A and B are shown apart, each in its own frame.
Chain A
Amino acid sequence: DTGVSQDPRHKITKRGQNVTFRCDPISEHNRLYWYRQTLGQGPEFLTYFQNEAQLEKSRLLSDRFSAERPKGSFSTLEIQRTEQGDSAMYLCASSLVVGSTYEQYFGPGTRLTVT
C-alpha cells in the first residue's frame, strides 16, 4: 500500500497527558498537511509543510500543539497537556502539485479521545 498512513488509528488518553501522532506521506510528495475533524463537521486545516519547512499554522494550533517533519518525510503532531476539547479525528494529507490539478491524498486519520 503506497497511500498515506497514520499511526495510531485510535488513541484514548486522560486529560493532561501528552500524545504524539505519526504520519507517513506518499513517498514522492513534498507537501504534508494536518487537519482536525470533529463530529459532523468538515476537516479544519491546522498546518502544512513543504519538505521540512513548516510554512503555515492555523490559529487553531495553540501553543500546546507542535508539528515536525524533520527530514522532509514523515511528520509528527504532538499535543501537550491534552484537554477534552482536543477529542477529534486528526487527519494527515500529502500532495505533489502538478499542473492545474490540485489534489491532496488523505490518510485514515487518528481518532483521539480525551477522558
Chain B
Amino acid sequence: LAKTTQPISMDSYEGQEVNITCSHNNIATNDYITWYQQFPSQGPRFIIQGYKTKVTNEVASLFIPADRKSSTLSLPRVSLSDTAVYYCLVGDMSGFQKLVFGTGTRLLVSP
C-alpha cells in the first residue's frame, strides 16, 4: 500500500475554501485515492474517491494531477461543522479491504 503524507493540522474560517493536499509518491497504477472524515467520538465517514483528474460530489472535490503523486481534497465554503480529522488513503480494490489510515489532517474551522 502506498504511503501517504498529509499536513498534521490546518486552520480556516467559516466560509473559506479549504484545500488539503496529500502526497503519495509511490502510488501504483491500480491504486485509487480515497478520503475519509472523522468527527470526535465517531467512526470515519467516506467523503470521496477518485483515480485521476477531478471528481466532485455534493460534499467535496478531489483533484488529482496527471502524475497522480499527490491529490487535493477541496472543501468549499467550510462551516464550523467541518472541523474534523481528514484522512487520505491510497490502495487498489484489494488494498481497500483493510483500510490503512495515517494520522490524518486536523482541520479547525473558526467563526
| Whole-angstrom CA separation of A92 from B43 in the bound complex | 8
Which of B45, B49, B97, B101 lies in contact with A101, CB distance below 8 A?
A: B49
- Check B93 for interface membership: any CB of A closer than 8 A: yes
Which of A12-20, A41-49, A65-73, A78-86 interfaces with chain B?
Answer: A41-49
Q: Mark B46-58, 1 if CB is under 8 A from A, else 0.
A: 1001010000000
Q: Mark A28-42, 1 if CB is under 8 A from B, else 0.
A: 000101010000111
Counting contact residues on chain A (CB < 8 A from B), the size range is 20 to 34
A43 with B32, Cβ < 8 A, contacts A56-B97, A97-B93 known:
no
Whether A107 contacts B103 by the Cβ 8 Å rule is no
A48 with B44, Cβ < 8 A, contacts A102-B32, A102-B49, A103-B49 known:
no
Which B residues are CB-close (under 8 A) to A100?
A: 32, 51, 93
Q: Mark B39-76, 1 if CB is under 8 A from A, else 0.
A: 00111111001010000000000000000000000000
Which B residues are CB-close (under 8 A) to A48?
A: 97-98
Which A residues are CB-close (under 8 A) to B100?
A: 45
Interface centre among A31, A33, A97, A102 (most CB of B within 10 A): A102
- Check B34 for interface membership: any CB of A closer than 8 A: yes
22 contacts between A and B (CB under 8 A): A42-B85, A42-B87, A43-B43, A43-B101, A44-B101, A45-B99, A45-B100, A56-B97, A58-B98, A91-B43, A91-B44, A100-B32, A100-B93, A102-B34, A102-B49, A102-B96, A103-B49, A104-B96, A105-B46, A107-B43, A109-B42, A111-B41
